[in-house]
Amino acid sequence: MQDQDNTQSQTLRAVLGLRGLIIDGLLAPGARVAEPMIVERFGVSRTPARAALAQLAEEGLLERRETSGFAVKAYSAQDIFQAIEIRGTLEGLAARYAAEGTVPKALLMRMRACVAELDDVVGNLSADVDQSDYVRLNDEFHRLLIEASGSDMVARSLDRIKALPFAAPNAFVQSLALDHASVKKVLIMAQEQHRAIVEAIAQGHGARAQSLAHEHSFCAARYLELLQARDHAIPWVAAGTDG
């Protein structure tokens, strides 16, 4: 079990690190990405390196080369905003199905416990906070939301859109300084939405749960806007194709 936990921890470190390199432009579109670089750069073994490459390929940040290995992809800003909205639409359906169905009490307790843990992380935001804690818990919240929906169709559809660019809930978080006032504001708002979604589900308010979950997805769009407001261009957004 300890070996498995260590592998998962290394995989998360590699995913966050590699994703950050791409978003910050340190790996430009078309750049080749291979296991040895990940192993050396992030101090992980080859298995987590391979897993990180596979996950970022699923997220659409990397594409398989015709020969071997992976390369960084480029997208338009319109592609990214549309991917975010598609995820939000599906998660809105998941929240509505959860509210209109019968979510086991144990699952609701896990969702509330996840929100409580996120409270601790968001309440202590600073540049020194380990961002992996937020990423891990945010991923867990979204996973629990899909589980609560009880819908295999929604789960499968969300799984498929991982291949859309930057559709993941945490796509931009690690590229922004956690102590930045604007980032704090978005994270605090996102956390209140987490709490409101769970309570809407618990009270059986389907339309409200759906609306909240859909709106929640646009936190990712706000992160992208903050990145666009920085002094330098976003390298992985193709010039002249921001729609």
pLDDT by residue (tens digit) across 20-64? 788 777 888 888 999 999 999 999 999 999 999 998 888 778 988
**Least confident among 30-34, 94-98, 233-237:** 233-237
Q: Which residue has the higher pLDDT, 93 or 8?
A: 93
Cβ distance 65 to 32 under 8 Å?
yes
Q: Which residue has the higher pLDDT, 222 or 147?
A: 147
| β-sheet with 32-33: strand ranges across | 32-33, 70-72, 62-64
So what's the pLDDT on residue 242?
A: 44
Token pair of 33 as six digits: 């990405």
pTM of the entire predicted model: 0.70
Cβ distance 196 to 143 under 8 Å?
no
Helices (H) and strands (E) in the chain, counts: 10, 3
Residue 235: CA atoms inside 13 Å, Cβ hemisphere, count?
A: 17
Task: Give me the residue spans of the domains in the chain.
Answer: 2-70, 77-228
| Superfamily of segment(s) 77-228 | GntR ligand-binding domain-like (1.20.120.530)
DSSP 100-113: HS---HHHHHHHHH
User: CA-CA distance, 25 to 21, in Å (whole number)?
Assistant: 6
| DSSP reduced 3-state for 220 | helix
Render pLDDT for 79-95 as a digit per residue (tens, 0 to 9): 778 888 898 999 999 99
How would CATH label the architecture of 2-70?
Orthogonal Bundle (1.10)
